[in-house]
Amino acid sequence: IGRYPLNDYGNAMRFHAQFADSVKFVPNVGWYFWDNDYWQRDESGAIILLASQIQAGIEKEANECEDEETAKIVRAFARNSGMLARLRAMTEIAGGMPGICTKPDALDSDPFLFACKNGVVNLITKELIPNTKDLLITKRSDVVYNPSATAPTWDRFLRRIMGHSEPLITFLQRA
């Protein structure tokens, strides 16, 4: 009939083809969405709304069928694919597919990367890099990284409690 079978697995394959680059599933944790900034956990069940978009694609498949009998079968399947049970089955299967299924320890795995509003700071090199999907960062600070920013109150505090010992202050700031 088409590129994908008319069953839950076929719908999971459709879902994977359309959304694998923008969703992740972590077993025993849940779904994550890429929001063009970082990976955000799906706290509202929005994955079902995303999965419901597959139904329109199946209806398009029906319109592309060469004979009306096959088109009727595909349209009926499209209608059923929008039911909650079918949407849940689709996302459950898709959640186990390569490219979507992600191990929990893959998220936020680099302790030296710190996400902020304007990118990701490498805490070793102090370089600001763009946050990309492959970094799998799920937490972000609401501060803007400015490598030339100063902290006069903090500097005064350090000088006072460290007895104005510059070597000790320098050590503390690196440690």
* φ and ψ of 128, to 5 deg: -95, 125
Rg (CA), the chain: 24
How far apart, in Å, do the first and last CA atoms of the chain sit? Answer: 63
Whole-number Cα distances in Å, 38 to 12, 113, 139, 158, 174 = 24, 13, 7, 34, 28
The pLDDT value recorded for residue 153 is: 95
pLDDT of residue 3: 83
Q: What's the confidence (pLDDT) of residue 76?
A: 97
The count of other CB atoms within 10 Å of the CB of residue 12 is 23
**Predicted pLDDT of residue 173:** 79
Nearest CA to 40 among 119, 108, 97, 94? 108
pLDDT of residue 1: 56
Gap between the Cα atoms of 145 and 128, Å rounded = 8
- The residue ranges of the chain whose pLDDT is under 50 are none
* Average of per-residue pLDDT values in the chain: 94
H or E segment at 16? Answer: helix 8-19
pLDDT at 172: 85
pTM of the model: 0.85
